Amino acid sequence: MIFQDVILMLAVCNLLNCQAIHPFHEEIPTTAQNLLKIPLDTNWHGWLEQDRKSRLSKTQMEKETNKSNTLIKNHWSLENHILKFDGKGHSIETKSVFRDFKLWLEWKIPPQGDLLILLRGVPGPRFWDYKKGPAETSTKGSGGLFLNKRFQPFPSKNADKPVSEWNQALIKMRGDRVSVWLNGPQVLEEVPLENSWDRRKPLPLEGPIGIQARGTSFEIKSMAIMLLEP
């Protein structure tokens, strides 16, 4: 596009009073922590069940972590700061734990792809090829808390880009409330996240960010987190 075309486009946009929508809803601040630092084990290790962690000694924890790490070997790779999963192996989680935060995410899935992000170690927003899902969710789009039963499980609107294109999301968590912006528009607004591992227990006050292995491949080329003040 030549310079004159850009000026014309901006002039038309001004006449129509349109507003540019940032794909992430807001820029990733320079103070945010990049979770895709090379090598992979800088920030990530194999996923461990939350309840089991509290029952393990330090020695047992190291043993279980090493065992879990063998399950992710050869299936997860981080090259040129793009995280790739081949659809096999085990889930991963951050070594660090987080309480309240904003999480920026840019990903791409293939047809029938499925990507689920764990917040504080609990299943959170789902980004997937929703058209391949069951009838009741086949028009709902991505970004919802699909494992919620008591509170809103589905996104308020469909803001997905076509499968195999890069999508951008901003996930905000404060307390037990989750908000999601997908490719600019907000699709979830302060919905309580339920502890789907054990609904008799409250949501953990803090925990790792996780990426669940759900049997399909995907790529993530941007993932950054910033802590929120209490």
Structure confidence at residue 40 (pLDDT):
92
At 9, is the pLDDT very low, low, confident or very high (cuts 50, 70, 90)? Answer: very low
Tally Cβ neighbours within 10 Å of residue 103.
22
Longest dimension (CA), the chain: 67
Q: Which residues lie closer than 8 Å to 185 by C-beta, 6 or more apart?
A: 21, 157, 159
Give pLDDT, residue 21.
Answer: 61
pLDDT in tens, 40-58: 999 999 998 776 676 778 8
The pLDDT value recorded for residue 51 is 66
pTM of this structure: 0.86
- Taken in order of first residue, the domains within the chain and their CATH numbers are 23-227 (2.60.120.560)
The CB density around residue 132, as the number of other CB atoms within 10 Å, is 14
Query: Is 158's pLDDT higher than 90?
Result: yes
**What are 166-221's pLDDT values in tens digits?**
999 999 999 999 999 999 999 999 999 999 999 999 999 999 999 999 999 999 99
Question: Is pLDDT of 124 > 80?
Answer: yes
pLDDT in tens, 91-116: 999 999 999 999 999 999 999 999 99
Helix (H) or strand (E) holding 226: strand 218-227
The per-residue pLDDT for 143 is 97
pLDDT at 195: 96
Read off the pLDDT of each residue in 144-168 and give the average, rounded to a whole number. 96
Q: How far is CA 55 from CA 24, 46, 50, 100, in A?
A: 39, 18, 10, 25
